[in-house]
């Protein structure tokens, strides 16, 4: 179920739009500065805390991320090691605190994912876009977990803010 808002840049709800036969875009404003939101996407120890949707009963089993242009990633997740899947690919563009672009190479027809981070005062507007090579690939690859994942990222950001305030 997607939450729709008239102005995704000024509210915290997740907005999912199919922009074309090949592209889906998800936007959300997070309560936290760009630097911290970018770190949640680029530091494995933070990424592992929010990426796997908890409602699916899965967790990240291993996470290797070399977040730089030309670097690679491999994320293995599942219920346990005997029942796991992996996402992997290459970072084709990384601009700290601004943009991450990567390939999804785990299957033929994988998307190119772009995440941009825009500072909005003490908040961050995040735009997540997946561009598939065909309509069929988008239809097969479209997952519904992003709103839940973004809720989990909200929780992580709140905990990071709370711990930073105590230091």
Q: Residues 7, 15: contact at Cβ < 8 Å?
A: no
pLDDT tens digits, one per residue of 38-72:
999 999 999 999 998 888 888 899 999 999 999 99
pLDDT tens digits, one per residue of 70-85:
999 999 988 887 888 8
Q: Which of 46, 98, 45 is nearest to 69 (CA)?
A: 98
**pLDDT class for 164, splitting at 50, 70, 90?**
low
Residue 22 has pLDDT above 90, yes or no: yes
Q: What is the pLDDT of residue 6?
A: 39
Where are the domains positioned within the chain? 15-143
Task: Classify each residue of 85-121 as buried b or exposed e, where b means 16 or more C-beta atoms within 10 Å of its C-beta.
Answer: eebbbebeebeeeeebbbbbeeeeebbbbbbbbeeee
As a whole number of angstroms, the distance between CA 56 and CA 139 comes to 20
- Triad 30, 22, 60: Cα angle to 5°: 50
Residue 9 has pLDDT above 50, yes or no: no
Q: Residues 25, 127: contact at Cβ < 8 Å?
A: yes
pLDDT tens digits, one per residue of 106-163:
888 789 999 999 999 999 999 999 999 999 888 887 666 788 999 999 999 999 885 5
Q: Residues 124, 112: contact at Cβ < 8 Å?
A: no
Q: What is the pLDDT of residue 54?
A: 87
pLDDT tens digits, one per residue of 93-104:
999 999 999 999
**pLDDT class for 31, splitting at 50, 70, 90?**
very high
Q: What is the pLDDT of residue 157?
A: 96
Superfamily of domain 15-143: START domain (3.30.530.20)
**pLDDT class for 87, splitting at 50, 70, 90?**
very high
């Amino acid at each position: 179920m997607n939450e729709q808002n008239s102005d995704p840049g000024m509210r915290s709800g997740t907005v999912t739009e199919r922009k074309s036969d090949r592209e889906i875009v998800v936007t959300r404003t997070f309560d936290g500065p760009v630097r911290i939101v970018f770190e949640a996407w680029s530091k494995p120890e933070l990424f592992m805390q929010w990426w796997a949707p908890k409602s699916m009963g899965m967790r990240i089993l291993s996470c290797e991320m070399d977040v730089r242009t030309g670097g690679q990633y491999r994320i293995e997740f599942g219920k346990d090691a005997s029942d796991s899947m992996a996402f992997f690919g290459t970072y084709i563009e990384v601009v700290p605190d601004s943009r991450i672009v990567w390939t999804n190479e785990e299957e033929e027809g994988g998307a190119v994912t772009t995440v941009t981070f825009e500072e909005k005062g003490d908040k961050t507007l995040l735009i997540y876009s997946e561009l598939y090579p065909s309509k069929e690939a988008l239809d097969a690859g479209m997952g519904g977990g992003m709103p839940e994942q973004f809720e989990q990222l909200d929780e992580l950001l709140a905990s990071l803010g709370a711990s930073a305030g105590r230091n």
